[in-house]
Structure 1
């Protein structure tokens, strides 16, 4: 049975409303309670009864899940200054929040969740019409679950002209709905059609890119392609998240909802994490499939570790991340040789990064300089991004952009939005890319993208 250890949020709301009336100013109120008996997927599913703006985040390496429902504060920026402007606005709200949080827990309180499009300008083109270029949201209701239990944060923007008793009543009703376990069986979708978007033309862009790389203008460029799915009915995002969490338990599982469209996936690639001022990043580039037997798996892994093209691609990422992290952190520790990072379908070259965040900087400062890494853009960074904009055959939207969360205590984590899909009703767009260097072969790169599409295809009715 659900139990809530409360400290009379109603009284806090009345107090904040009195202050808002007295100052003729809207005020943000945040209160965190410890709760028991709430499943994160159930909380997410019940959220559709309240708002079409939901967020889901499950960590790749620890028992840590965030679910956000609704929007107390929503910040959308675009242009070159979008990271700094978002950071500044979040700080302004947090500096003036009326907060009650007796728990020293990361990921509680005024946590903002969301992401940024790959490009700094608008993404509102097909198929991303429902998504802004970037959005970080402090949700009205935030469930934080970890090994210590579950915590429910209520964030409400209180206006002077609010009927505070009606606000209190609605807030309590919404919490009861969210904390009611769902019992619906979420049937899997049935895939009716798979359409590869201009595959032969995409292969030609790979060949053209290798010619450009041969003249020395670029060292590497990442080109992605799109596959479109059609189902017999609208996909259940809760079911997709449930299956991803089960099948891809070494990846970050995420979902962001905007106006009924969902960006969902399971990415293995951390961009950067900060916890108690300790900074962690990861260099993940270079890919090969898992083997059907232990012997084949070991052989493929050894071949990947010795493959010149993949090691070169991986080193590009290591050097770029080192340069970005050293600007904002000290005591930077990066091993000289990569390891193997094994997932259900794939194995990658992996190099961990550890450092200490300097005073005066935030997580979004680091995100700004890390995005896009050579694993998602190329090198040199700006020339590669320009090449992608002019030659790639799709609109990336939030694909390959930074997604994640940040709390009011400088803690947070962002990952790179790969192994993902944009789902709109009974249709989905899946995305996958590859790093092109001067000796890349179009057919081999095409086959690599097919492997990278498997995790999302497997939970959307296709073959694993």
Structure 2
């Protein structure tokens, strides 16, 4: 396993039975001591190792999140002690400034039996400024990151539960009582789940039944028109590749809990990062196979993931031999290398792509690792790389203009950067692919395909359908 795969070692397991009274006394004492102080306090406590989605089921609501990569530490959270909402073209600069001030005012206290996991901000950004300006995306905006009220972190063997509060206005006597009750609820539920019991808030067994009532796929005729328009632009020399995206709308017989959909996605997402970001009126979730950037000190990792075919043993050789898919893939590799090279002392790029196998789709995959010549915040790297040609096109500006002008629906956070970062500038970001937006009795599913000169509209449409298949199955709308 690469040193960059995980930002935390796998330590020895800890017992799942906790001394709840001792932990409560520890927290009560720390909260009382911090009352009236201007700094924000983050208390980290030992917790049993369970599936991180458990916290979303225990305490559902606005500003919950899940970040569950295929390896390393997974996180879940509920509530927001602090929230940074972003708008406009300076969103990256505003995020860095606001986060720097927040981290500077943050005090972290770790229980002696807990594993320290540094504070992190979790969230995402829209594909482009203004892409989330209309429904159903309006509440997500151009970007949003939160410092969770409750954060659960687990590497599968040991876990930490953290509570974050503001000393000035949240730690009077009623406030302390409220946070202790919230913590009691979380600890009791996590302990019950670790013991094999049904945690409060679990979905009933009947919830695994189909909830999809009707599926409205995107119109094939409109898709064909868009692909032909892109091919004409390529023939005229205006671009080399544009990624076209569209969405399906699923009518639900009843609202479905995000944790339920995430649990159903788990079986087919071993090589993907499962994620969710909850807002008051909807939840954006999915299982993305594509990392945008991981930074740990001066070491970074990214990847090119472009060129696709339906899963199947015989199809892997077909994909590797496809001139069209190899061309599409190479455009992504070249742009990533071109943008990173000036910042790096060393850059490692395999000469040939390999196969990344998912449940329904095979992708051409090139992992790229590098050493930075000087320190760079992960947000600098996110801004530098996004959007890669895997979700935008070549050249980038021409592709983005076409997407803004010609796509029928706004992408919102689909294909945007999602992830986390800490006070040191380390972080892990993925590209928000294989996604859906849950809103009451609707689910909006998004998928795209890279269009080059010899793309076949029907085959590209079929590719987008393949990419939606796992989410449709998770909603009970297909196998």
Give the TM-score normalised by structure 2: 0.89
Partner of 1:164: 172
Deviation at 1:198, TM superposition (A): 3.0
Deviation at 1:228, TM superposition (A): 0.5
In 1, Cα distance between equivalents of 2:422 and 2:113: 12
**For the Cα contact (< 8 Å) 1:117–1:401, is it kept in 2?**
yes
Of the three residues 53, 71, 74, the one matched with 1:65 is 74
Aligned pair in 2 of structure 1 residues 140, 162: CA closer, same or farther (>3 Å)? Answer: closer
Partner of 2:261: 240
Partner of 1:343: 358
Structure 1: tracts of 5 or more residues without a match:
21-26, 292-296
Partner of 1:89: 98
Of the three residues 22, 26, 33, the one matched with 1:8 is 26
Mapped pair 1:29 → 2:41: yes
Deviation at 1:379, TM superposition (A): 0.7
Deviation at 1:33, TM superposition (A): 1.8
Deviation at 1:329, TM superposition (A): 3.4
1:27-86 Cα shifts (integer Å, max 9, x gaps)? 2111212222554222111121xx4210001102x1421001100111111222211210
Deviates more, 1:174-183 or 1:136-145: 174-183
Partner of 1:40: 52
Matched residue SS, 1:250: coil
1:263-293 Cα shifts (integer Å, max 9, x gaps)? 01011011111234421111110101112xx
1:390-436 Cα shifts (integer Å, max 9, x gaps)? 01111100000011111234332111111110110121111111111
In 2, Cα distance between equivalents of 1:237 and 1:273: 26
Aligned pair in 2 of structure 1 residues 37, 363: CA closer, same or farther (>3 Å)? Answer: closer
Matched residue SS, 2:408: coil
Of the three residues 226, 249, 261, the one matched with 2:282 is 261
1:330-379 Cα shifts (integer Å, max 9, x gaps)? 32111111011111111110011111245441111100111100000001
**For the Cα contact (< 8 Å) 1:233–1:425, is it kept in 2?**
yes
- Matched residues, number: 448
**For the Cα contact (< 8 Å) 2:115–2:159, is it kept in 1?**
no
In 1, Cα distance between equivalents of 2:221 and 2:112: 56
Partner of 1:413: 428
In 2, Cα distance between equivalents of 1:373 and 1:37: 36
Deviation at 1:201, TM superposition (A): 1.1
Deviation at 1:148, TM superposition (A): 4.2
Matched residue SS, 1:321: helix
Aligned pair in 2 of structure 1 residues 38, 340: CA closer, same or farther (>3 Å)? Answer: closer
Mapped pair 1:177 → 2:185: yes
Mapped pair 1:52 → 2:52: no
Deviates more, 1:352-361 or 1:149-158: 352-361
In 1, Cα distance between equivalents of 2:59 and 2:281: 12
Deviation at 1:111, TM superposition (A): 1.1
Matched residue SS, 2:242: strand
Structure-to-structure mapping, 1:370-449, within 5 angstroms: 370-449=385-464
Structure-to-structure mapping, 1:246-285, within 5 angstroms: 246-285=267-306
Deviates more, 1:317-326 or 1:219-228: 317-326
**For the Cα contact (< 8 Å) 1:419–1:452, is it kept in 2?**
yes
In 1, Cα distance between equivalents of 2:178 and 2:145: 24
Give the TM-score normalised by structure 1: 0.91
Deviates more, 1:400-409 or 1:221-230: 400-409
Of the three residues 101, 112, 123, the one matched with 1:114 is 123
Matched residue SS, 2:467: helix
Partner of 2:140: 131
Matched residue SS, 2:37: helix
Aligned pair in 2 of structure 1 residues 316, 363: CA closer, same or farther (>3 Å)? Answer: same
Structure-to-structure mapping, 1:298-317, within 5 angstroms: 299-317=314-332
Aligned pair in 2 of structure 1 residues 220, 107: CA closer, same or farther (>3 Å)? Answer: farther
Aligned pair in 2 of structure 1 residues 207, 238: CA closer, same or farther (>3 Å)? Answer: same
Partner of 1:457: 472
Deviation at 1:14, TM superposition (A): 3.2
Structure 2: tracts of 5 or more residues without a match:
1-16, 190-198
In 2, Cα distance between equivalents of 1:171 and 1:327: 48
**For the Cα contact (< 8 Å) 1:74–1:135, is it kept in 2?**
yes
Aligned pair in 2 of structure 1 residues 176, 38: CA closer, same or farther (>3 Å)? Answer: farther
1:292-313 Cα shifts (integer Å, max 9, x gaps)? xxxxx1x211111111111111
CA RMSD of aligned residues (A): 2.1
Deviation at 1:107, TM superposition (A): 8.8
Structure-to-structure mapping, 1:364-375, within 5 angstroms: 364-375=379-390
Aligned pair in 2 of structure 1 residues 358, 99: CA closer, same or farther (>3 Å)? Answer: farther
In 2, Cα distance between equivalents of 1:353 and 1:105: 34
Of the three residues 224, 235, 244, the one matched with 2:245 is 224
